[in-house]
């Protein structure tokens, strides 16, 4: 799982996404690294 329980991932356009952290935001370095890994693993 890429997000914590309580976080909300939203697709709001063609290729636009947002992740809301209503209770606690991530540490920027952790989030950037996780987002890059997820993106790279989904490339053809």
Condensed to tens digits (0 to 9), the pLDDT of residues 1-44 reads: 567 778 888 888 888 888 787 777 666 667 777 778 887 777 77
Place of tokens 């952290």: 21
Q: Which residues of 15-44 are buried (b: 16+ CB within 10 A; e: fewer)?
A: eeeeeeeeeeeeeeeeeeeeeeeeeeeeee
What pTM value is reported for the model?
0.39
CB atoms under 10 Å from CB of 3, counted, come to 13
């Amino acid at each position: 799982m890429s997000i914590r329980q309580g976080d909300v991932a939203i697709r709001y356009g063609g290729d636009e996404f947002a992740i809301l952290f209503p209770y606690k935001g991530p540490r920027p370095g952790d989030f950037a690294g996780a987002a890059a890994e997820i993106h790279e693993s989904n490339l053809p």
